[in-house]
Amino acid sequence: MSTKRWSSVNRTDNHIIAAVAALGMTSIATQILLVREFVSVFEGNELVIGVVLAAWMVLTGAGSFLGRFSLPLARTQAPLTTALLALSLLPALAVFLLRYLRNIVFTPGSMIGLAQALYGSALILSPYCLLSGFLFVFAASLSSGRPEENSIGALYAWESLGSAAGGALFGVVLASELETFQTLFLLMLGDACVAFLVARREGWGKAAALTLAAAACAMAIFWNADLLTRGFLFPGQEIVEFGDTPYGSLTVTRQGDQLNFFENSTLMFSTNDVVTNEEIVHYAMAQVDSPRRVLLISGGISGTAREILKYGVDMVDYVELDPRVISMGRKYTRALDDPRIRVINDDARIFVRNAAGPYDAALIALPDPATARVNRFYTLEFFRDLKRTLSDSAVVSIGLLPAADYQGAEARRVSSVLARTLRRTFARVLIVPGQRNYFLASDAVLDIRIAGLIGRRGISTTYVNGWYLDDRDLAERSAGLAAALDSASTLNTDFQPVCYYRQMEYWLSYFTVDPLPWIALAAAGSMFLLARSSAVGAGIFAGGAAASALEIVLLLSYQVMYGSLYQMTGVVIAAFMAGLAAGSSLARSTFRGSEFNGFILVQLALGASGFLLPPLLLRVRESGLASMQIHVLFTASAFAVACLVGMEFALASRVRQGRAAVVASELYGLDLAGSALGALLASVYAIPLLGMLQTSRAAGVVSAAGGVLCVAARQLKRSS
């Protein structure tokens, strides 16, 4: 079988190839949808992407290890049919359990720690991942005519091709048209059709037909299951409207007279929240004499835009990235009806970079920088772009953290980083304590006597006035907060997201479980696997770790530049899978007779890509390219990295000798174990600590080290 072209197959192989392609399509579509679901349920933190991908790869690798014992089952295709049918049902069950258990296992509204996210993802993903890993190795055993020959590389290519198709169809095309369960039901029906074809060959046509009919009935009955299951995430609230967009999962709920707008289960804003609206607006606006134009980033539907109009401004430019937020807001509120409010559906980073200005105030009504997407509005690059659009005496306002007169070490670090980053751009920074700590920045004089300023201006307010605020007390609290800051803090930049990391520290400080021992345990387990493997196996492990880290770097870098990772995740993963298929096919025709040399060359090329990516990212950020061009560049980069990984795996499968089930189990498991460790370390530690660029270079070193190890092993073998 090892000498056959992967397109030249007999009738039995056609059924195996169809099953493996269906496995790839199902796996990648399920992975994309579940990553989005986990991000949504775990409040939009991209950290969860690395955690979920790591759990996915470890569990799939464990399944592939179990697959080495599948040889006794490889006398019939019956287990193939059964596994495909089970895989068609498990994704929908996983999403149901994720939404149902969120507020049963954890207190509604509570934060979820890293360890809890890891445990939860492992528990929910384990049935699907273990079975899918087992199925790939079983298919390799089934397709091998003799123990010494295998079709691992060919099946890897077909699985990757199916993954690319599944990522493009279910993760990109249908994701914008259908809800999560509707997409999963279509996927289930496709798997059932493939299982039906395999079962007919085994003489199980009637049973397969009944299963297919049952799948179609289940799809028809539960087609609108999203409404029911989203209700589990918002107990005690009436769901008014929901939908997935390229930027996140939106849900509007009602509690009494208040509407709550959630994105990825995180509260964006609420209507009739007088205190928050007034603090966002009046702390900054009271500092400006005769403001004419104001920039408002997010939150305008909550009522902040109308508060700004009290100052007699000519225009409020309200920038909101997601058009669906605006359409929902106009549908349920009248907050944007005034003609002086100009709604702009655009990424605020791109809008600010091209805006003419000048603005007399810029109000940033965003959550804390707990995600890479939000952190991009707390960086030095953004503040510099913003300053170019402001008048000489303009004021910028941005809120951070729940206010307190005493802040813990983690909260103080976040505030220190933001204050120093603002001071690098503006001459003066003032902290106004309220429900949140509001940082005001300007080149003009700032006044902490908020109540007095409001009173002299004659602005009608409910909360921000002398009846509720004591200016002397406010000044003392502000001075205390400022005195506690560390003036030597690191600056927060796009590719060095320190605020994001410090905010993550603050988040983790609520939990007693330290993730480091668990990562150390995973690293120790990886070292154990490497000690038992060959040099080629070690190279596969290193390549998987490097490629996975580079994929995370690409995803988060895209988030920094464009802010729509929610949909782009599917595009990048689909491109990655297409690259794996292309690389596997290319390796089979390029390095005939020199597979080991080719393996080393590809390993070193993957290492070089880690060093080539940083200058590319810097050039893209500074170029001001259109969004479509950025999409193409990131997609092409993911494809190129994956192409090298596909070549590496295909060459390793030809170099490594032995029984197909054992070889497939070893290589597939090491690839997934390395990928898991790379994804986890990159997202949890390397990127927050080192930044995207240094993480990319570190990944290059890891891959190159794998290539050097193989060279050393060859030299040692020759000398002996």
pLDDT tens per residue, range 465-484: 888 888 999 999 999 989 88
What is the reported pLDDT for 613?
93
Residue from 154, 181, 183 nearest 168 by CA: 183
Range in 194-198, 224-228, 427-431, 670-674 with the lowest mean pLDDT: 194-198
**Biggest distance spanned by C-alpha atoms of the chain:** 91
Answer whether residue 149 shows pLDDT above 70.
no
Tell me, what's the pLDDT at 612?
Answer: 94
Asked whether the predicted pLDDT for residue 533 surpasses 80, the reply is no
Q: What is the pLDDT of residue 504?
A: 65
pLDDT in the model for residue 390: 95
Cα-Cα-Cα-Cα torsion 257, 258, 259, 262, nearest 10 degrees, comes to -150
Greater pLDDT, 305 or 18:
305
CA distance 266 to 116: 18
Query: At residue 402, does pLDDT exceed 50?
Result: yes
User: What pLDDT does residue 2 have?
Assistant: 34
Sign of the torsion angle spanned by Cα atoms 535, 541, 547, 550: negative
Asked which of 45-59, 639-653, 656-670 is least confident by mean pLDDT, the reply is: 656-670
The answer to whether residue 1 scores a pLDDT higher than 60 is no
Domain boundaries, the chain: 229-263, 272-491
Higher pLDDT, 504 or 544: 544
CATH number attached to the domain at 272-491: 3.40.50.150
Handedness of CA 601, 606, 609, 610 (dihedral sign): negative
What is the DSSP secondary-structure string of 536-574? HHHHHHHHHHHHHHHHHHHHHHHHHHHS-HHHHHHHHHH
* Mean local confidence (pLDDT), 614-619: 90
Window from 249-258, 361-370, 567-576 with minimum mean pLDDT? 567-576
User: Whole-angstrom Cα distance, residue 502 to residue 180?
Assistant: 33
Edge-to-edge strands, sheet with 390-402 = 341-345, 315-320, 293-297, 359-364, 390-402, 436-442, 428-433
Instruction: Output the pLDDT for position 529.
Output: 54
* pLDDT at site 362: 96
Q: Report the distance separating Cα 589 and Cα 38, nearest Å.
A: 40
Place of tokens 């799948």: 215
- Where residue 532 falls among pLDDT bands split at 50, 70, 90? low
Tens digits of per-residue pLDDT, 659-683? 666 776 778 778 888 888 888 888 7
Locate 680 and state its tokens.
């986890």
What is the pLDDT, as a whole number, of residue 359? 96
**At 514, is the pLDDT very low, low, confident or very high (cuts 50, 70, 90)?**
low
What pLDDT is attached to residue 383? 96
Where is pLDDT greater, at 437 or 624? 437
Task: Report percent pLDDT > 90 for the chain.
Answer: 22
Give, to the nearest 10 degrees, the angle between helix 114-142 and helix 78-105: 180
In angstroms, the CA 648 to CA 584 distance is 8
In the prediction, which pLDDT does 311 show?
A: 94
Average pLDDT over residues 104-127: 72
Among left, alpha and beta (phi > 0; psi -120 to 50; other), residue 445 is beta
Note whether 679 and 54 are within 8 A (CB): yes
Nearest to 140, CA basis, from 148, 152, 154: 152
Of 261-275, 322-336, 609-623, the one with minimum mean pLDDT is 261-275
Q: What is the DSSP letter of 666?
A: H
Provide the pLDDT for residue 476: 92
Q: Torsion-angle region of residue 107: left (phi > 0), alpha (psi -120 to 50) or beta?
A: beta
- Beta carbons of 17 and 9 less than 8 angstroms apart: yes
User: Under the phi-then-psi rule, with left for phi > 0, alpha for psi from -120 to 50, and beta for the rest, what region is 44?
Assistant: left
**Do residues 687 and 497 touch, judged by C-beta distance below 8 A?**
yes
- Residue 386's pLDDT is 96
Report the distance separating Cα 688 and Cα 496, nearest Å: 7
| Tens of pLDDT, residues 58-114 | 888 788 777 776 655 555 556 667 777 777 788 888 888 888 887 777 666 555 666
How confident is the prediction for the chain on average, in pLDDT? 80
Confidence bin at 253 (pLDDT 50/70/90): very high
pLDDT tens string 478-503? 999 898 888 888 889 988 888 877 76
- The pLDDT score that the predictor gives to residue 59 is 86
pLDDT band at 148 (very low <50, low <70, confident <90, very high): very low
pLDDT of 338: 92
- Name the band, by pLDDT with cuts 50, 70 and 90, for residue 185: confident
Coil, strand or helix at 346: coil
274-285: b (≥16 Cβ within 10 Å) or e: eebbbbbbbbbb
Read off the pLDDT band of 439 (50, 70, 90). very high
Greater confidence (418 vs 5) lies with 418
* The two three-digit tokens of residue 629, written as one number: 């061009």
| Length reported for the chain | 720
Least confident of 91-105, 350-364, 368-382, 536-550: 91-105
What is the pLDDT at residue 146? Answer: 44
Q: Residue 204: its pLDDT value, please?
A: 60
Better-scored residue on pLDDT, 505 or 42? 42
**pLDDT classification of 720: cutoffs 50, 70, 90:** low
pLDDT at 360 over 50: yes
Instruction: Report strand pairing: 315-320 vs 293-297.
Output: parallel
State the pLDDT at residue 450: 93
**Is a pLDDT exceeding 50 seen at residue 25?**
yes
Which of 115-129, 206-220, 556-570 is least confident?
206-220
Buried b (16+ CB within 10 A) or exposed e, 220-240: eebeebbeebbbbbbeebebe
DSSP state letters, 94-161:
HHHHHHHHHHHHS-TT----HHHHHHHHHHHHHHHHHHHHHHHHHHHHHT-SSTT---HHHHHHHHHH
